[in-house]
A and B are shown apart, each in its own frame.
Chain A
Amino acid sequence: MNEPVPPMVEVRGLTRTYGAGSTAVTALRDVTFDIAPGELVAVVGRSGSGKTTLLNLLGGLDRPDSGTVRVDGTAVSTLDDSGLSALRRDTVAYVFQTFGLIPALTAAENVGLPLRMRRTPVAERERRVELLLDLVGLRDHARQRPDQLSGGQQQRVAIARALAGSPRLLLADEPTGQLDTETGLAVMSLLRAVVESEGVTAVVATHDQVLMALADRVLAISDGRVDG
């Protein structure tokens, strides 16, 4: 396939080894792939196959031993600490398996956090938060705190928060890992929907074969290698 548009994610020869000597574990081996803008890619593989490692490297939470990662044209692996936090603030957003909400803040406040970090004007922030909560169907739960929400609701808040800063790339590591199948499916369809409506690119790591059906493309990892 040859497309004129440059890829959103460009991974070349990515290798990541944990530890050294006899206990060294190579989590990723010479991985190369591209992801086009607007794609929803599912990364699947067994436990320990290297999914989380890959997502961390894409999001700049971790540095590779060799190889390069480009996100929206930026070479992630060459960024310094402040460049990485700018990348996380402006380009890449994370959705954690454990939701990662701040317990002391309400749903709306959690969603507003990325906007606060960019010092978005208050009125604009509030408008966007309202819009996003609408989008994830939690309009009526805006003032509830995480411990007053169900797991699925929390993950939807987390997705809304990830989208708040209008990222180019959304990374989700087993976003449905802590949810039952049905809720997981609902969250996944939500992701599918927002990817379309917000026009972001999404990379979702998952165990779940069923959820893969919703993806544009599936990247299967086994033993640190991407096949197909």
Chain B
Amino acid sequence: MTPSVPRPHLPTVVGRWRSDAAVLLLTALVVALAVGVTAAVDPVTEHAADRAIAATVRDAGRQADVVATLPEWYDDPRGKELDPSTATQVRQDADLARQVLPPDLAAVVRPGVVSVTTPPLQLLDAGPGRMLQLAFVETDGRPPAVTYVDGAAPGAVRPADAGSVEVAVDRSVAEALAIGVGDRLPAEDEQGRTAELRVSGVFTADAPADDAWQVSDRLLHPVQGVADGLAYTTGAALVSAGALPDLRLSLPADDLDRRLVLTPEPSRARWRATRSLERSIVSLQSSSGVSATDLSWDSRFGAVLQRGREEVAAARGQAQVLVVGLLGATMLVLVLAAQLLVRRRRDELATLRQRGASLGGVALELLVEGLAVTVLGGVVGWGVVRLAAGSAGWTSAVPVLLVAALAVPLLGAVSADSHGGGRRVPANRGARRTAERARRLRRLAAEAAVVAAAVLTTSALLQRGVTGVGVAEDAAWGDATAASAPTWWALAGALLLVHLLPHPVRWAMRGTRRSPGGVGFLVAARVAETGVRALPVLVLVVAVAGTTVAGSLVATAREGQAAGALTAVGGDGRIDAEPQADLSDVAAEAEDEPGVVAAVAGRVEDGVRISSGGAVEVVRLVVVDAADYADLLAAGDLPDASRLALLGAAGGDSGGDPGGDPVPALLRSGGSPLADRPTVRWEDVPVVLDVVGTAPDVDASTDPVLVVDASAFADAGAVALPNTLWLSGPGTDQVIDAVASRVTGVDAVVRRSEVVEARRAAPLTSALLALAVASSALLVLLGVLGIVLSVAAEAPERSRSLGRLRALGMADRDLRRVLLGELVAPVAGIALVGWSIGVACSYAVLGALSLDLLTGEAVAPRTVVPWWTVLAVPVVVAAALGHAVLEARRVRRRDLSRLVRA
């Protein structure tokens, strides 16, 4: 009896290692690569996610502010007295508000701006339409830094002057309102309650970008305009801590709005903390009191964070699609390597088994080796990432590690079992047939499982996308179900290929059977004999298909970004300016500039209200020459150009409306569809519209878009001076600055190329694209490894077969051709099919990956499968070719006399 406790025999193990060093090293290398990549994905995505959240918060600007409205002061009805501690009270109330901030929120916001503001007060000294808002502003107990160009900071007035407040204004405000140091300005609020303002100083802001100035835009930028036919000017004035008691005394409490505005510091908002921050904000807002004398909170920071978090989730989901493909291919390659090892050791394992070693003992010996190789590869891959990136994940590499450690022991045990006499092929033909049937059933079940997985994961993907909605965010890898859909399809396609491949091979044999030569015929015969092993086909198909999907993802995202930028800009370039009649002339001149195909001036006005029946909707109104605009859209490959022709045709039916014929309009409606005769008020002129079609998405508006023809609009009595100039054509980037120099009051010059650059440089986008590039390169490498491994596994058998042909007198040249043919032709065919599967997967899947979150488009970008993804095919073919050349040399050198003895 042999001892039942299996004990690995060290010299045997070491000897085996030496003879299989190449394969073992390769296995360790593959493990190291897979572990390295997955280990890097976690810190890299985390880093990119942090940067993306920071960017979202930064872009949100003041939308992200957390605003505390401090309890309203109480005015004693028996009369107020001057209270010198007023400023201290404000500071204390702000501190109280800060104390209720949840700690995580407190950690991401800056110290905050404390303010006391009044509504705009009507100045009564000269003419109507002059308003001045008063604001006490402090950051960290200090007023914003200013330099007085005249006079001095406001202070307390003498008791005799009670009821007056000293204020200071920015120079621009002083100029706009025509006020200066020493002026005494009687003012009243909307309820007619009066106060006297004394201008103590005129200043310029040292740091206009300081958060403090955000308390009121008008502190530094007075607004002038026309409302209801009257010109108006509104500015704001600073009140100092010293003057605050006077303000408190002069105006009733309900005119004094006390706030603490906390601005998040973008770099402190971490992606992992977003969920809890959102919760903190919700709980903070729900703690708000209901009455004016309670502290209340308001913020859209939570919504901003949520948007950022969704974008990150989408990007992680997209990354997961790539990583799952990579891991799938890696595991297949590892199994292939294990198969090769076990095949090389088949006789040795069989002998072990015949000598009485238990299956467990055989497996244990192999497990020791598998673990050593896995640990070695894993530690190297993980360590490199750890050193390079400072941190490294490992959870997603677990399946790879398991396969690497267990494949050889399991396959080895199976091999020892079937070749070592443990299980014999049944002698009885019936029993043999039963065994064969069972084997086929098992295989069929496995294939059915793969197809079922493909269907299930795809439906998961189509239903909920990859954004991981409803999945715990903290879970390192969330839910890989949906993300694995493309990989499953590649596997299913590969299995189908395994079933179908014998047919073309048989056709090839039939086609060459009646040829005089032997090369083509022998190639087909050899492929028929060895070419259709399942595992190599799976590896190659998954690798090439994965490369193709990754490449398509990159191309689709990049093209989508270009298209999104085109829609956002409205052409190759755009100049935003103040409304002016000259803009149309500038546009006409610009069309003559070199490289400009079309240039159009138009009016783009946001926040315009249109009403129909009882419904009111806020739209972006675009007033533009319809024909010219259609040319512009057509020149820039923008959609919807043809619909603009509808605007040219003069108003539909003349239905005796009070405003004359309705003006034809295109409407791109957001939510509620407006009834057919909406009215827009333009500078007090009501214009009745006739919606004749859907508007183009002008400059990527979030509001509904309403487009009308400028001359039709003018005919209806509404003159809209253009404020926007669009340029289209290859030379736009060069000439746009020159064109802008002819425009007065330019707000912004936008180049499409710059918008595209900015979008591509966004943290999530660049990280995802880098991952896609890296994973497609790695997948090609895995495909090559798969080829090398499977070719190496067949090499001894092939060398025997080719030796026979050589012994029959086949010339070396023909021998080489047979070898090249049998190695290269199947690889080329399988790789091409893999590429086709990748193309199909790209079209089926990319639309569901929420790539629009990366491209900034309103809808999923058009799937683009670039031609160069097919280059994966020549690369793997070249690998097969290289191997064939090496092997041909080896076959020629091989001693034929040995062959005869084999």
Would you call B514 an interface residue if the criterion is a C-beta within 8 Å of the partner chain's C-beta atoms?
Answer: yes
Residue from B516, B525, B801, B900 within 8 A of A121 (CB atoms): B516
Would you call B896 an interface residue if the criterion is a C-beta within 8 Å of the partner chain's C-beta atoms?
Answer: yes
- Given the known interface contacts A81-B812, A89-B809, A117-B810, the answer about A102 and B516 at a Cβ–Cβ threshold of 8 Å is no
Number of interface residues of B (CB under 8 A): 31
- Given the known interface contacts A98-B902, A104-B525, A104-B526, the answer about A122 and B812 at a Cβ–Cβ threshold of 8 Å is no
What are the interface flags for B801-814 relative to A under an 8 Å C-beta threshold, 1 for contact and 0 otherwise? 10011111111101
Q: Are B529 and A103 in contact, with the CB atoms below 8 A?
A: yes
- Residues of B with C-beta under 8 A to A119: 516-517
Number of interface residues of A (CB under 8 A): 37
- Residues of B with C-beta under 8 A to A105: 525
Would you call A46 an interface residue if the criterion is a C-beta within 8 Å of the partner chain's C-beta atoms?
Answer: no
Q: Are A81 and B892 in contact, with the CB atoms below 8 A?
A: yes
Q: Which of A62, A102, A116, A161 has most B Cβ within 10 Å?
A: A116
Q: Are A52 and B514 in contact, with the CB atoms below 8 A?
A: no
- Residues of B with C-beta under 8 A to A120: 516
Q: Which of B528, B897, B901 has most A Cβ within 10 Å?
A: B897
- Residues of B with C-beta under 8 A to A59: 807
Q: Are A116 and B892 in contact, with the CB atoms below 8 A?
A: no
Q: Are A88 and B808 in contact, with the CB atoms below 8 A?
A: yes
- Residues of B with C-beta under 8 A to A186: none
Would you call B518 an interface residue if the criterion is a C-beta within 8 Å of the partner chain's C-beta atoms?
Answer: yes
Say how far A86's CB is from chain B's closest CB, in angstroms: 7
What are the interface flags for A146-173 relative to B under an 8 Å C-beta threshold, 1 for contact and 0 otherwise? 0000000000000001000100000001
- Given the known interface contacts A56-B900, A61-B900, A102-B525, the answer about A122 and B514 at a Cβ–Cβ threshold of 8 Å is yes
What are the interface flags for B493-535 relative to A under an 8 Å C-beta threshold, 1 for contact and 0 otherwise? 0000000000000000000011111100110011011000000
Q: Which of A89, A93, A103, A173 has most B Cβ within 10 Å?
A: A103
Q: Are B804 and A102 in contact, with the CB atoms below 8 A?
A: yes
- Residues of B with C-beta under 8 A to A113: 518, 805, 808
Q: Are B811 and A85 in contact, with the CB atoms below 8 A?
A: yes
Q: Are A52 and B901 in contact, with the CB atoms below 8 A?
A: yes
Q: Are B809 and A88 in contact, with the CB atoms below 8 A?
A: yes
Residue from A86, A104, A117 within 8 A of B529 (CB atoms): A104
Q: How far is the CA of A120 from the CA of B895 in the complex (A)?
A: 28
Q: Which residue of A lies closest to B527 (CB)?
A: A104
Q: How far is the CA of A9 from the CA of B807 in the complex (A)?
A: 19
- Given the known interface contacts A102-B525, A104-B526, A114-B808, the answer about A62 and B516 at a Cβ–Cβ threshold of 8 Å is no
Q: Which of A55, A89, A113 has most B Cβ within 10 Å?
A: A113
Q: How far is the CA of A114 from the CA of B807 in the complex (A)?
A: 10
What are the interface flags for B516-557 relative to A under an 8 Å C-beta threshold, 1 for contact and 0 otherwise? 111001100110110000000000000000000000000000
Beta-carbon contacts under 8 Å, A86-108 to B:
86-90, 93-94, 96, 98, 100, 102-105
- Given the known interface contacts A89-B810, A165-B809, the answer about A116 and B517 at a Cβ–Cβ threshold of 8 Å is yes
Q: How far is the CA of A53 from the CA of B896 in the complex (A)?
A: 12
- Residues of B with C-beta under 8 A to A96: 804, 807, 900
Would you call A197 an interface residue if the criterion is a C-beta within 8 Å of the partner chain's C-beta atoms?
Answer: no
- Residues of A with C-beta under 8 A to B895: 62
- Residues of A with C-beta under 8 A to B808: 88-89, 93-94, 113-114, 117, 161
Q: Are A62 and B807 in contact, with the CB atoms below 8 A?
A: no
Say how far A50's CB is from chain B's closest CB, in angstroms: 12
- Residues of B with C-beta under 8 A to A125: 516
Say how far B204's CB is from chain A's closest CB, in angstroms: 92
Residue from B515, B517, B522, B896 within 8 A of A62 (CB atoms): B896
Say how far B532's CB is from chain A's closest CB, in angstroms: 12
Say how far B899's CB is from chain A's closest CB, in angstroms: 8
Beta-carbon contacts under 8 Å, A50-88 to B:
52-53, 55-56, 59, 61-62, 81-82, 85-88
- Residues of B with C-beta under 8 A to A53: 897
Q: Are B900 and A122 in contact, with the CB atoms below 8 A?
A: no
Q: Are A100 and B809 in contact, with the CB atoms below 8 A?
A: no
Q: How far is the CA of A105 from the CA of B524 in the complex (A)?
A: 10
- Residues of B with C-beta under 8 A to A56: 896-897, 900
Q: Which residue of B lies closest to A97 (CB)?
A: B900
Q: Are A122 and B809 in contact, with the CB atoms below 8 A?
A: no
Q: Are B807 and A100 in contact, with the CB atoms below 8 A?
A: yes
Q: How far is the CA of A105 from the CA of B807 in the complex (A)?
A: 17
Q: Which residue of A lies closest to B803 (CB)?
A: A100
- Residues of B with C-beta under 8 A to A85: 806, 809-812
- Residues of A with C-beta under 8 A to B521: 109, 116
* Residues of chain A whose beta carbon lies under 8 Å from any beta carbon of chain B: 52-53, 55-56, 59, 61-62, 81-82, 85-90, 93-94, 96, 98, 100, 102-105, 109, 113-114, 116-117, 119-122, 125, 161, 165, 173
| 10 extra interface residue pairs, beta carbon distance < 8 Å, beyond A102-B529, A104-B528, A121-B516 | A61-B896, A62-B897, A81-B892, A90-B809, A94-B807, A102-B805, A117-B809, A117-B814, A161-B808, A173-B900
List of 8 A-B pairs having minimum Cβ-Cβ separation, nearest first: A89-B809, A116-B518, A88-B809, A104-B529, A62-B897, A104-B525, A56-B897, A61-B896
* Residues of chain B whose beta carbon lies under 8 Å from any beta carbon of chain A: 513-518, 521-522, 525-526, 528-529, 801, 804-812, 814, 892, 895-897, 899-902
Q: Could you name 19 residue pairs across A and B whose Cβ atoms are closer than 8 Å? A: A52-B897, A52-B900, A61-B897, A81-B812, A82-B812, A85-B809, A88-B806, A88-B809, A89-B809, A89-B810, A90-B809, A94-B807, A94-B808, A104-B526, A109-B521, A113-B518, A113-B805, A114-B809, A122-B516
